[in-house]
Amino acid sequence: MTDTADRDPEFAFELRVCRWAERAWHPDGPRPAFVARQLGTRDRRWDTVVVEVDPEAFAARRALSTEGFDSDLLRVVRHAPADWQWYRDAIPEPDFPWRHVVPAVHRAAGRGVVEKRRGSRNRVEYRQTTPYPDWVERIVAIENKPDLDASAARALADQLEHDVERGLADEVWVATEATGDRVEPALLEDLPVEVGILSLDDGTMDVLWHPSTLTPDPDDARRRLVLAERAYDRGWRSYVDTMRPDCRHFELARRGMALVPRCAAKDCFQSQRECAHSCSAFEPEPPAWRMNGWPIEGGPGKGLRELLRARRERERERTESAG
């Protein structure tokens, strides 16, 4: 099956880039990392985000929780003291009222990542179960553009210029589909010189241009950690959460090294947008499919979700043991 069967070539390409990065990061030599997609800040969303980690610290982070922390939880967990302390003595003063911090202390305790109690004067005190590790090494942004022609390069240039100037990521790349043709030097001229260019050909990636290492602002440390936590929470297979694996036509098909969603009814790699509640071709899984060894409370759709979740955990174990 070729890209002509893609309803959304950028989506299918993005999943292949994510899978490549998961298996083969970094282009200059192996570095332990995990991958997420469609993440960023309020002003800028990146297609693919690679978070390079210290494997031992990453193992400690996974031991703390297999789910990511939102920014409120992160504030509480990261500053959790070793011994019982009033939360206001442990956490740096936020730029919003203190009373909004208390629910996050309760949530963190509910998830078992801190312990809490009522101390003197009925104050909420808490302490860590284990320390929050220093697990993030570098954050890398990849913009995916399967058809990187001159006009696409020009359109991308401003965004990439912003990424380079903003310096929230340590490195920025553009990934494009290999065409077999030499990349025109004029095309490279349209992109900031600091941005690397990758060319994906089935499962292999070539570096067409090496990026510069950017220097993130130390004041962005918390913002970067919030981003890394969201990446950890989402991963790149979470696309399935907004699609319809419970439709009888939903399949996962091998594409190079990646498993990508395919619609048997439309005989195509469907877009994320069309494979939704509004799809007129949706048909629920027949109840009989919900037996025959599939999870008791769900049919193949539930099984596919579980398969993707298990793959994510397997890859994270591999990252952990890379140390």
Residue ranges binding ligand SF4 (CB under 6 A): 244, 247, 249-250, 263, 265-266, 270, 274-275, 279, 281-282
Q: How far is the CB of 267 from ligand SF4 (least distance, A)?
A: 10
Of 138 and 249, which has the nearer Cβ to ligand SF4? Answer: 249
Task: Rank residues 32 and 300 by Cβ distance to ligand SF4 and give the closer one.
Answer: 300
Least Cβ distance, residue 4 to ligand SF4 (angstroms): 17
| Minimum distance, C-beta of residue 287 to ligand SF4, in the bound complex (Å) | 17
Which is closer to ligand SF4, CB of 155 or CB of 281? 281
Taking the complex as a whole, the smallest distance from the CB of residue 117 to ligand SF4 amounts, in Å, to 49
Q: Judged by CB, which is closer to ligand SF4: 228, or 247? A: 247
Q: How far is the CB of 85 from ligand SF4 (least distance, A)?
A: 51
Looking at beta carbons only, is 214 or 279 nearer to ligand SF4?
Answer: 279
Minimum CB distance to ligand SF4 smaller for 230 or for 244:
244
Nearer to ligand SF4, 80 or 263 (CB): 263
Reduced 3-state DSSP string for the chain: CCHHHECCHHHHHHHHHHHHHHHHCCCCCCCCEEEEEEEECCCCEEEEEEEEECHHHHHHHHHHCCCCCCHHHHHHHHCCCCCCEEHHHHCCCCCCCHHHCHHHHHHHHHCCCEEEEECHHHCEEEEECCCCCCCEEEEEEEEECCCCCHHHHHHHHHHHHHHHHHCCCCEEEEEEECCCCCCCHHHHHHCCCCCEEEEEECCEEEEEECCCCCCCCHHHHHHHHHHHHHHHHHCCHHHHHHCCCCECCEEEEEECCEEEEEECCCCEECCCCCCCCCCCCCCECCHHHHCCCCCCCCCHHHHHHHHHHHHHHHHHHHHHCCC
Which residues are within 8 A (CB) of 37 and not within 5 positions of it... i.e. 6 or more apart? 14, 15, 18, 47, 48, 49, 234, 236, 239
Task: In angstroms, give the least distance from the CB of 111 to ligand SF4.
Answer: 33
Q: What are phi and psi of 255, to 5 degrees?
A: -135, 100
Partnered with residue 177 across adjacent β-strands are 200
Cβ 37 to ligand SF4, closest distance in Å?
A: 19
Q: Tokens 């310096």 appear where?
A: 167
The smaller minimum CB distance to ligand SF4, of residues 270 and 319, is found at 270
Question: Encoding tokens for residue 240?
Answer: 């399935």
Give least dist CB 263 to ligand SF4, A: 3
